[in-house]
C-alpha cells in the first residue's frame, strides 16, 4: 500500500492495525495536509446498501467538532477499497503510556476530564463510542487527550471472532473490546451513554492502578467477572490513590446503569472538583443531574410505580397536615434551608495544562465576578478577596466564614484554541454540600455571552430576583475579537500588581487590544485606570496623564453607555483633575447603580464624600466596600483614610492595622498609619511606619519631614525639604509634598506659595485641602480660604 493513491490521499507509511482495519499515515494531495487513513477490512461493506448506510453514519460522525475528539474528514471508496480519512494526532495512546504502570493521580485527572468532555460532546449528538479503551485515546505532546474512532465500533464489526481476552470483540454483532465492555454490551442489550461510562471506568482503573479491573485471561471467566464480580478496589493496588478517585472509578463500574453516573457531564464535574486545590479537603460528589437518561418501563412496573406514588402522596399529605417532623416545610417550601443571599466566586482552576494560560483563568474569574456584581439582590465578594484563596487548601466552610458568604462558586476554565469551557459548581459553603453544577462551552469570540449565561444560571439557582434593568444589562453581550480579548486579560493581569513596571506592561497590552479592535470599550477603561493611577502611585505629572485617562473613559462610554467600569473611571478623572465634585458624584452613583457589588466604586465614592467633609456618608460607603471585599487590604485601608480625614484617628489606626495584617507590604497603609500616629503625637511610631512606606512616590518622605518638624527636629525636616526642592528641579514632584513640610515648619507664606504652584500643575493631592490635618495651621489664612473656594470645597 505504501506509495499508493486512494482517492486524493497518498499513503506514506503504515502506522498500525486492529480489528477495524489498518491505519496509514497519508498525505492529502488536495489540501496539502497529513491525515490518518483507516483502510477498512475487505468485505466489511459487502454491498452498496451497506456502504450507503456507512457513508450516512460517517457523515454524522464527521460533524463532531471538539478539541478532545479526533475529527473524521472523509469517507470514500477507490478500487474496491473503503477508507476513512481522519485527523492525524501526534502523540502516544494511553495504552502505550500505561505500559510503564500507573499514572500520577494529577495526570489521571487532567486527561480524564478531557475524555469526559469528549464523551459529553458525542453523547449530546446521540453518538455512543461503544469501544472506549486506552488504545482509542491519544495523548499529544502538549498533554491533550484525543478520543479516536467514535461510533465506528457500531459501523464495523470485525468478521473474525477472536478468542483472546486482550482484543476480543464479541460475536452476535456486539461492538466493543471485551475487557472494557459494559455488562449490557455483553448481554447484547440496547446501550446508551452509560455504557461508555462503564468502559471509561475500566480505562480510569487501568490508568490509576496499571491493571485491568477484571484480570481473567479466559473469555468465559472474564465475561462472568464483568457481569457478576466487583473489581479489587483501586486503593488496594495503588495506596496513593485518593478515596475520592476510587469512589469515582467504582461508581463508573457499577453493574447496573442506573447506579453509574447518568451522564459524562456529571462525571466531568466530579473529576474537575477533585482536580481543584480545595478538593484535597472538600471532596463531596456532585449531585446527579436532574434529567436522567430515559428508560423503557414495562406496564407492570408502571402500575406498581403508580400505586407506590399514590401511597406516598397520601402519607405526605398526612405528614403535611400534622406537620410531623416539620414535613409541611419540607413539602411546600425550603424549610430550614438557608436562603442564599451572598456568594463568592473562588479562582477558577486552569485546566489547559499550560501554566502560561494562568492569566486567562484569572481573567475569566474576574469577568464572572463582574457579571454577578451587577445583581443588586445578591452580595458578591470582590475579586481581590476571592483571589487570596487561589491554590488554597483551606476547607470551604472556613473560607465561607472568612468571607461571610452563604455559598461559593468553584470551577475551572479550559481553553483549547478558540474554544472555551467553563465548569461551575454552586456549593453551600457552610456545609460543603453541592447544590448545582454545569459546564458551558463557547467559541472565544462569544466569551462575553458565555459569562452572562453562567451568571444567569447561578442567579436562577440561588433564586435571586433580577430587576428589569438587570435583565437588560445581562442581555447586552457583544462578540469580541479573541486576540483583543486575550490582550485585555493580560493587561488586567499586569494591572492587578499596581507597580509602575507592571502598569507600563498593562498599557502595552491594552493598546494591543485596541490595535486589534478599536471599538473595545473595556480596553479604553483599562487605559483610563492605568493613567489615573500613575499620578497617584508613581508621581506622574497630572497634566500629562489624567487628561488621557479622562479621554479614554469618555471613549468607553461612547461605545457602551451602560458600562459601570467606564462611569467609575470618568468619576475618578472628574474628581481628581477637574475638581468637578457634582459631576464625579453623579458618575460614582451611576457606576454603583450598574454594578452594586463593586467595592471599588463604593470605596472611591466614599473617598469623594470624605474630601467633601460628608464623613458619615463616607463611612457608610467604606463599610459597604469592606463587606464586599472582606479579606482585601484595600477596603480597610480606604476606610482608615476616611476616619483619618474625619479626625477619628483611633478608628483609623484600627482599620489601617487591619489592612497591614492582610498585606504587610502595602505601603499606602503604612503611610496613613504614620499620618494617624502623627496626629496622635506618637512620633516614634509614626516614623517607624513611614520608614516602611518608602514606596514608588515621595509622599512618605514628605510626611517624615512633617513629623520631624512637628516633633522639634527642624534640621531633619529641612534636610528632606532641600532634597525635595532639588528633585523638583529635575523631575515632577507634587507641590503639595513640599507645601506640607513648610506647613510643619510654620512657614505659612512658603506653604501657600507651593500650594499655588499645585494649582498651576493640577496637583492631584489638592483635593484633600479641605480635610487634610497637616494644613490646619493654614486654615485661618485668607489666601488658604480663597484656595478652598477656588476648589469649590465646603468651608
pLDDT at residue number 499: 83
Domain 93-275: top CATH class: mainly alpha
Query: Per residue in 83-107, pLDDT tens?
Result: 889 889 888 999 888 787 889 999 9
Note the pLDDT tens digit of each residue in 532-584: 998 877 668 999 999 999 999 999 999 999 999 999 999 999 999 999 999 99
- Name the fold adopted by 342-479: Rossmann fold (3.40.50)
pLDDT digits (tens, 9 = 90+) for 621-657: 999 999 999 988 999 999 999 999 999 999 999 999 9
Q: Confirm whether pTM is higher than 0.75.
A: no
pLDDT tens digits along 292-303: 333 333 333 433
Question: E strand or H helix at 124, and its extent?
Answer: helix 105-124
DSSP 3-state of 104: coil
List all residues 6 or more positions away from 447 whose beta carbon is below 8 Å from its beta carbon.
Answer: 364, 367, 420, 480, 482, 485
**Residue-level pLDDT at 418:** 80
The pLDDT assigned to 195 comes to: 95
d(CA 697, CA 691): 13
How far is the C-alpha of 446 from the C-alpha of 423, rounded, in Å?
16
Same fold for the domain at 93-275 and the one at 342-479? no
Say whether pLDDT at 161 is over 50: no
Which is higher by pLDDT, 725 or 534?
725
Q: Is the dihedral of CA 321, 327, 333, 335 positive or negative?
A: positive
Confidence of residue 31 (pLDDT cuts 50, 70, 90): confident
What span, in angstroms and rounded, lies between the C-alpha atoms of 200 and 198?
5
Residue 355 has pLDDT above 90, yes or no: no
How much of the chain exceeds pLDDT 90, in percent?
Answer: 52
Instruction: Mark residue 229 as left, alpha or beta (left: phi above 0; alpha: psi -120 to 50; beta: remaining).
Output: beta
Q: Report the C-alpha gap between 508 and 779 in whole angstroms.
A: 44
d(CA 45, CA 54): 8
Beta-strand relationship, 72-78 and 33-39: unpaired
How far apart are alpha carbons 769 and 738 in whole angstroms? 14
Per-residue pLDDT of 457-494, as tens digits, reads 888 888 888 888 888 887 777 778 888 989 999 999 89
Question: Domain 5-87 is in which class?
Answer: alpha beta
* Distance separating alpha carbons of residues 440 and 450, to the nearest angstrom: 7
User: Per-residue DSSP letters for 590-644?
Assistant: HHHHH-TT-HHHHHHHHHHHHHTT-HHHHHHHHHHHHHHSTT-HHHHHHHHHHHH
d(CA 370, CA 525): 14
Identify any residues that bridge with 585 across adjacent strands, giving them in sequence order: none
Give 238-254 pLDDT, tens digit per residue.
888 998 999 999 999 99
Q: Which pLDDT value is given to residue 153?
A: 57
Among the listed residues 131, 270, 406, 629, the single catalytic one is 131
Residue that has been written with the C-alpha cell 472506549 in this structure:
132
Domain locations along the chain: 5-87, 93-275, 301-325, 342-479
Distance CA 750, CA 766 (A): 16
CB 351 within 8 A of CB 403: no
Q: Rounded to an integer, what distance in angstroms lies between the CA atom of residue 158 and that of residue 41?
A: 8
Is 131 tagged catalytic? yes
3-class DSSP state of 159: coil
The confidence band for 658, taking pLDDT boundaries of 50, 70 and 90, is: very high
Q: Using DSSP, how many helices (H) and how many strands (E) does the chain show?
A: 34, 15
Kindly report, residue by residue over 51-60, the tens digit of the pLDDT. 777 777 777 7
C-alpha cell at 3: 506509495
Other Cβ atoms within 10 Å of 489 Cβ, number? 22
Local structure of 93: helix, strand or coil: strand
- What region does 396 belong to: left with phi over 0, alpha with psi -120 to 50, or beta? alpha
Amino acid at each position: 500500500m505504501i506509495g499508493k493513491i486512494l482517492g486524493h490521499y497518498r499513503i506514506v507509511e503504515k502506522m498500525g492495525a486492529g480489528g477495524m482495519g489498518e491505519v496509514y499515515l497519508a498525505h492529502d494531495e488536495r489540501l496539502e495536509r497529513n491525515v490518518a487513513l483507516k483502510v477498512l477490512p475487505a468485505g466489511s461493506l459487502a454491498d452498496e446498501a451497506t456502504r450507503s448506510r456507512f457513508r450516512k453514519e460517517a457523515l454524522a460522525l464527521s460533524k463532531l467538532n471538539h478539541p478532545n475528539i479526533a475529527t473524521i474528514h472523509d469517507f470514500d471508496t477507490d478500487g474496491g477499497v473503503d477508507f476513512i480519512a481522519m485527523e492525524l494526532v501526534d502523540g502516544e495512546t494511553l495504552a502505550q503510556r500505561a505500559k510503564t504502570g500507573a499514572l500520577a493521580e494529577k495526570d489521571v485527572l487532567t486527561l480524564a476530564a478531557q475524555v469526559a468532555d469528549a464523551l459529553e460532546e458525542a453523547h449530546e449528538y446521540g453518538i455512543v463510542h461503544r469501544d472506549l479503551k486506552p488504545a482509542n485515546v491519544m495523548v499529544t505532546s502538549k498533554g491533550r487527550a484525543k478520543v479516536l474512532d467514535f461510533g465506528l465500533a457500531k459501523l464495523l464489526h470485525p468478521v473474525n471472532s477472536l478468542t483472546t481476552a486482550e482484543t476480543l470483540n464479541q460475536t452476535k454483532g456486539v461492538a466493543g473490546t471485551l475487557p472494557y465492555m459494559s455488562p449490557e454490551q455483553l448481554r447484547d442489550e440496547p446501550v446508551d451513554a452509560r455504557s461508555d461510562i462503564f468502559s471509561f471506568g475500566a480505562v480510569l482503573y487501568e490508568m490509576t492502578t496499571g491493571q485491568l479491573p477484571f484480570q481473567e485471561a479466559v473469555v468465559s471467566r472474564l465475561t462472568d467477572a464483568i457481569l457478576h464480580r466487583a473489581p479489587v478496589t483501586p486503593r488496594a493496588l495503588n495506596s496513593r490513590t485518593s478515596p475520592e478517585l476510587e469512589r469515582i472509578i467504582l461508581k463508573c463500574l457499577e453493574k447496573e446503569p442506573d447506579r453509574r453516573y447518568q451522564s459524562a457531564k456529571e462525571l466531568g464535574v466530579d473529576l474537575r472538583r477533585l482536580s481543584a486545590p480545595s478538593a484535597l479537603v472538600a471532596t463531596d460528589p456532585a449531585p446527579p443531574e436532574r434529567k436522567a437518561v430515559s428508560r423503557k418501563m414495562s406496564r407492570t412496573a408502571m402500575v406498581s410505580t403508580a400505586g407506590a406514588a399514590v401511597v406516598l402522596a397520601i402519607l405526605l399529605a398526612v405528614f403535611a397536615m400534622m406537620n410531623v417532623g416539620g414535613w409541611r416545610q419540607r413539602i411546600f417550601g425550603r424549610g430550614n434551608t438557608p436562603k442564599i443571599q451572598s456568594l463568592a466566586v473562588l479562582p477558577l482552576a486552569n485546566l489547559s495544562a499550560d501554566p502560561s494560560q494562568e492569566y486567562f483563568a484569572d481573567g475569566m474569574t474576574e469577568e464572572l465576578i463582574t457579571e454577578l456584581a451587577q445583581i443588586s439582590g445578591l452580595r458578591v465578594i470582590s475579586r481581590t478577596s476571592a483571589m487570596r484563596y487561589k491554590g488554597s487548601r483551606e476547607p470551604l466552610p472556613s473560607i465561607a466564614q472568612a468571607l461571610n458568604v452563604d455559598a461559593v462558586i468553584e470551577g475551572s476554565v479550559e481553553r483549547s484554541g478558540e474554544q472555551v469551557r467553563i465548569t461551575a459548581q454552586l456549593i453551600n459553603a457552610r456545609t460543603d454540600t453541592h447544590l448545582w453544577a454545569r459546564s458551558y462551552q463557547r467559541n472565544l469570540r462569544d466569551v462575553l455571552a458565555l459569562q452572562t449565561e453562567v451568571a444567569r444560571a447561578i442567579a436562577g439557582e440561588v433564586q435571586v430576583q433580577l430587576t428589569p434593568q438587570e435583565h437588560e444589562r445581562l442581555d447586552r453581550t457583544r462578540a469580541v475579537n479573541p486576540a483583543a480579548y486575550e490582550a485585555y486579560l493580560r493587561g488586567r493581569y499586569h494591572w492587578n500588581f499596581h507597580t509602575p513596571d507592571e502598569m507600563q506592561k498593562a498599557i502595552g497590552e491594552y493598546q494591543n487590544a485596541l490595535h486589534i479592535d478599536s471599538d473595545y470599550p473595556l480596553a479604553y477603561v483599562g487605559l483610563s485606570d492605568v493613567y489615573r493611577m500613575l499620578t497617584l502611585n508613581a508621581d506622574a505629572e497630572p497634566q500629562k496623564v489624567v487628561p488621557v485617562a479622562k479621554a479614554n473613559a469618555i471613549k468607553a462610554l461612547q461605545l457602551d453607555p451602560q458600562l459601570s467600569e467606564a462611569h467609575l473611571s470618568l468619576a475618578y478623572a472628574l474628581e481628581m483633575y477637574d475638581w468637578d465634585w457634582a459631576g464625579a458624584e453623579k458618575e460614582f452613583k451611576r457606576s454603583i447603580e450598574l454594578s452594586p457589588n463593586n467595592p471599588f466604586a463604593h470605596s472611591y465614592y466614599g473617598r469623594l464624600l470624605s474630601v467633601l467633609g460628608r464623613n458619615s456618608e463616607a463611612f457608610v460607603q467604606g463599610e459597604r466596600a469592606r463587606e464586599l471585599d472582606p479579606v482585601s487590604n484595600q477596603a480597610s485601608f480606604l476606610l482608615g483614610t476616611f476616619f483619618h480625614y474625619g479626625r477619628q484617628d483611633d478608628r483609623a489606626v484600627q482599620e489601617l492595622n487591619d489592612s497591614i495584617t492582610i498585606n504587610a507590604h502595602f505601603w499606602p497603609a503604612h503611610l496613613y498609619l504614620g499620618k494617624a500616629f502623627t496626629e496622635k503625637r506618637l512620633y516614634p511610631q509614626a516614623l517607624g511606619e513611614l520608614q516602611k512606606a518608602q514606596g514608588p512616590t515621595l509622599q512618605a518622605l514628605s510626611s517624615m519631614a512633617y513629623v520631624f518638624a512637628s516633633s522639634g527636629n527642624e534640621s531633619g525636616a529641612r534636610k528632606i525639604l532641600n532634597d525635595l526642592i532639588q528633585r523638583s528641579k529635575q523631575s515632577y514632584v507634587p507641590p503639595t509634598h513640599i507645601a506640607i513640610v513648610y506647613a510643619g515648619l510654620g512657614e505659612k507664606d512658603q506653604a501657600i506659595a507651593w500650594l499655588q504652584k499645585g494649582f498651576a500643575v493640577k496637583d492631584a493631592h489638592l483635593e484633600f485641602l479641605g480635610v487634610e490635618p497637616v494644613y490646619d495651621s493654614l486654615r485661618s489664612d485668607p489666601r488658604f480660604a480663597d484656595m478652598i473656594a477656588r476648589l469649590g470645597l465646603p468651608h
